[in-house]
Amino acid sequence: MNLYQENHDLLAICKLAPVIPVLLVDETANAVPLAQALIAGGLRVIEVTLRTENAFDVIEVMAANTTEGIIGAGTLLSKEDVYAAKRAGASFGVSPGVTDQILSACAEVKLPLLPGAATPSEVMNLLSKGYSVQKFFPAQSNGGIAALKSIQGPMPDVSFCPTGGVTSTNALDYLSLENVVCVGGSWVAPKDKIKAADWQAITKLARHASALRKHSET
- Known catalytic residues are 47, 135
Per-residue H/E/C for 16-79: CCCEEEEECCCCHHHHHHHHHHHHHCCCCEEEEECCCCCHHHHHHHHHHHCCCCEEEEECCCCH
* Alpha-carbon torsion (36, 42, 44, 49), positive or negative: negative
> Phi and psi (nearest 5°) for 185?
-160, 155
Nearest to 113 by CA among 124, 123, 104, 122: 104
